[in-house]
Structures are given as C-alpha cells and as structure tokens.
C-alpha cells in the first residue's frame, strides 16, 4: 500500500522577490545598460524603499507570471535582438528558479545610451 503524502503548508514568493530575481537577469544581459522606473511615482517609491527592482513590474495572475521591463539599451546594438534575448533570459531564469510558468515578458525600451563619444 502506497502512503499518501500530504502537503504541510505552501510556499509563496512575493512579486518583489521575483522582481529582484528578474532585475539581476536583465542587467546581466548583453546590450542592456540598465533599467528605469516606468513612471515618476514608481521611481519615487523605489528610491524610498531602496528596492532592487527598479524598472521591473511583476504581476501574478491565475498562477502565471506577467513581467514588464523598462530598460535602457546600448546605442549600436540591434534593439529587437536585445529585447528578444532579454525576454528569453528572464523567462528561463524565472521558470527555472520558481517552477512557475511565465505567461508574458514585455520589454519597453525607454532610452538608448551612447557610451563613448571618442
């Protein structure tokens, strides 16, 4: 006879924790210079809270994760290729770390930065 295993609780991961994980994946991606807040109000809240999730908005709907990224891209890179790469890296990182499906990763390119003017 097989013994039934009953869950003794549950594991919850806050959207802020997911956003921190996503932020690390984004800033380590090729062609990404950084992230920016989606608007002034979000920027003020991020500055006050000291959170490492600036430019990352995470929503959990029906057990699936929806992520919005607000990024700064390096001038001279192919924006579409960088955005697709970031989408793939973020989706892979979150699904591997949390075991939850990522429904959407939306990349919003807010700025383009020119590094060297030499």
Query: Is 9 among the domain residues?
Result: no
Residue 22 lies in a domain: yes
Q: Output the pTM of the full model.
A: 0.80
**Within-domain flag for 5:** no
Answer yes or no: is 73 within a domain: yes
Specify the CATH number for the domain of residue 47: 3.30.70.1350
For residue 102, tell me if it sits in a domain.
yes
Name the domain count of the chain.
1
Which residues, including other chains, have CB under 8 Å from residue 59's CB and lie 6 or more apart? 15, 65, 66, 67
Instruction: Flag whether 46 is in a domain.
Output: yes
- Percentages of the chain per state (helix, strand, coil), in multiples of 5: 35, 30, 35
pLDDT tens profile 61-114: 888 999 999 999 999 999 999 999 999 999 999 999 999 899 999 999 999 998
Domain that includes residue 51, residue range: 15-113
- Reported as a single tens digit per residue, the pLDDT across 26-58 is 999 999 999 998 766 655 556 566 655 689 999
């Amino acid at each position: 006879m097989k013994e039934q295993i009953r869950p003794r609780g549950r594991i919850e991961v806050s959207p802020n924790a997911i956003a921190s994980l996503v932020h690390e994946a984004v800033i380590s991606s090729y062609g990404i210079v950084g992230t920016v807040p989606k608007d002034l109000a979000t920027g003020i809240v991020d500055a006050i809270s000291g959170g490492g999730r600036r430019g990352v908005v995470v929503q959990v709907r029906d057990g699936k994760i929806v992520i919005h990224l607000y990024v700064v891209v390096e001038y001279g890179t192919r924006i579409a290729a960088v955005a697709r790469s970031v989408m793939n890296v973020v989706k892979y990182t979150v699904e591997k770390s949390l075991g939850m499906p990522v429904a959407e990763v939306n990349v919003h390119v807010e700025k383009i930065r020119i590094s060297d003017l030499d």
